[in-house]
Amino acid sequence: MIGVVSGLLPGGLATPATVVFADRLEANLAGMAAFAAEERLALRPHAKTHKCPQIAGRQLALGARGLSAATVGEAEVLVSRTRAALAGPEVEDVFIAYPLWPAADLVTRLGKLAERATVTVGTDSAAAARLLAPLAGRVAVMVEVDCGLGRSGVPPAEAAGVALAARRAGVQVRGVFTFPGHSYRPGAAAQAAADEAAALAEAAAGLAAAGFGTVERSGGSTPSARLSVPGGLSELRPGVYALNDAQQVELGTCSMSEVALMVAATVVSRPAPGRIVLDAGSKVLGPDRPAWATGYGRLADWPGARITGLWEHHAVVAVEGDSPALGETVAVVPNHVCTAVNLVPELLVADRGQVVDRWPVAARAANR
């Protein structure tokens, strides 16, 4: 039996192959763009998910105000290649949503980048803000606050102190930002969205009291994006929504039919009853597995199957009853699409069962 999704894969693929379904991608991009427009939120999609100028260009064409990036390198690639890739909009506005430590080489690179686009960087310390002084007038900052994830970002009450350090360094402060990443647990997204709004409100009030006026309040994660508290944010930065993944399916953020990236894999072994082995392992799916996930990804056409073990080139799948045959191609949904994309040099773009394009993962491994 060939499953419905596996049937959408182009025939004769050499596996493992990382495939993007063009129609699903477009629907995801358009859906979030429409949501942001309705809610009057500026949309600044996080490009770390796809690292791909073709997708970035489409996000801009659908109305995104600019892009988010995780590193200076990602921003450089997206600014230089997006127009070339799509003959579409230039990336004119990029926010490196990360508490950069502005060492000398990064200051130099940011200065060059700022000649071609509006550049904002994240900061969460007075010490980092001071190091941005050579970029005064060329690069702006957003102050990162922690809304409950316990990663980077100062407590909201301390945001004004960091903003004042940036001002003393001559650097414009655009606002405050946070990542409500504690939305990544079943049932946690609404509370994370409430925490996000509260933290941004407190931080923005602190900046207002310190004389910064009304500032940008930027937040968003894919699980929490559509639960954002009305009026709580001015800017939304989801990334995963463009492609989706098994985590989002299991969190209830999207349905399996909204997953736009899958890995075509072959059943290479059926060594024992109830167990099959696929040629898609951690070097193509990514080893991510949160404790609450049912496995290391999902088989799109086999809802009862569970990827119980993952090695570099083996996925061990527990199956019951009817299951894929030896040599059969199946569509695997990675747990975390951002790390899966980063593992391959290009994405195969599929439309109506044909490979219609190949998009380089242009910002792959752009870790600085």
Residues that bind a second copy (CB under 8 A): 14-16, 48, 70-71, 98-101, 103, 105, 124-125, 127-128, 146, 150-155, 181, 266-272, 275, 277, 279, 282-284, 286-288, 309, 311-314, 316, 326-327, 336, 338-339, 342-345, 365, 367-368
> Which of 83/314 has CB closer to a second copy?
314
The span from the CA of 283 to the CA of 280, in Å, is 8
Centroid of chain to Cα 294: 21
CB atoms within 10 A of CB 353: 11
Token output for 150: 């316990």
**DSSP labels, 121-154:** EEE-SHHHHHHTGGGTTTEEEEEEB-SSS-SSSB
Helices (H), 210-294: 222-225, 246-251, 282-285
**Shortest Cβ 311–a second copy spacing (Å):** 7
> Which of 57/181 has CB closer to a second copy?
181
**How do beta strands 17-21 and 216-219 pair?**
unpaired
Under 8 Å between Cβ of 135 and 110: yes
CB atoms within 10 A of CB 167: 17
> Which of 174/336 has CB closer to a second copy?
336
**Shortest Cβ 69–a second copy spacing (Å):** 10
Token output for 99: 């508490």
Under 8 Å between Cβ of 235 and 65: yes
> Which of 49/82 has CB closer to a second copy?
49
> Which of 62/95 has CB closer to a second copy?
95
The span from the CA of 85 to the CA of 141, in Å, is 29
> Which of 64/96 has CB closer to a second copy?
96
The single residue listed with the structure tokens 């998910």 is: 49
> Which of 45/99 has CB closer to a second copy?
99
Token output for 119: 């550049």
Centroid of chain to Cα 200: 21
**Shortest Cβ 159–a second copy spacing (Å):** 11
**Shortest Cβ 288–a second copy spacing (Å):** 5
